Amino acid sequence: MLTLPRPLDVPFTDTSAEALRLSLDHGRIAPLASRSIEVSTGTEAAPRLTLTLTVIGSSHQAILVERTNDAFIETFACLGENADGPSPSRPQWDHEDVRRGRWAGFTEHRFTATRTKVRGDFPTAAAEVLTISADRARTADDHLSVVFPGQPGALTALSLICAESELIAWQSWHCYPQHQEIVHSSSELRRST
């Protein structure tokens, strides 16, 4: 079900898709909007997990909280010109990035990002993003989208796709009207078998 995007009263701040970086060790950034979702752990004895999808600028963070502690933070954002290296890192467009670690029992993070140049009407393409992101969400409550003032089509959308004991998956869309680009990312946290 399509839910209308939340209009924000803040300027569109990110520069371009080229400036995006992925980090798994950046701290929390104050969100402009957020959506928290309880995640099933499969057993009542396991600690409670909450995934919070947040919009920061036209970027995002996905934060997995175990009880009251941050267990995992994915930051996909414009983190500055000096933010190169192993973490944060430039996305490898159309290539899956797999990282291993320990995050509330999950041991593998998978991330893929694509960058698309929009040749036609950008606001129409951005409206299609809203429909796609809402359609992919498990429920309307598992979706977050915001629009920024000043530039038609400036928006960010996030959707929780799966939230099970062995797999949590989400997707994001970042629309850059000034460059006619849309970035789509897919993320997963998996438990080793």
Whether 79 maps to a domain, the answer reads yes
Whether 126 maps to a domain, the answer reads yes
Supply the DSSP symbol for 41.
Answer: -
Whether 14 maps to a domain, the answer reads yes
CB under 8 Å, gap of 24 or more: what pairs does 9-14 form? 9/149, 10/148, 10/149, 11/148, 11/149, 11/150, 12/57, 12/58, 12/148, 12/149, 12/150, 12/151, 12/154, 13/57, 13/58, 13/78, 14/57, 14/58, 14/59, 14/77, 14/78, 14/174, 14/176
Q: Which residue's structure tokens are 């089509």?
A: 153
Instruction: Output the tens digit of pLDDT for each of the chain's 193 residues.
Output: 445 455 555 555 556 888 899 999 999 999 988 999 988 766 665 668 999 999 987 789 999 999 899 999 999 998 865 555 456 788 999 999 999 999 999 999 999 999 999 999 999 999 999 899 989 998 888 999 888 887 888 889 999 999 988 999 999 999 999 999 999 999 999 997 6
188: nearest Cα among 158, 152, 163: 163
What is the tally of structural domains in the chain?
Answer: 1
Residue 121's domain comprises 6-190
Whether 1 maps to a domain, the answer reads no
Whether 164 maps to a domain, the answer reads yes
Whether 39 maps to a domain, the answer reads yes
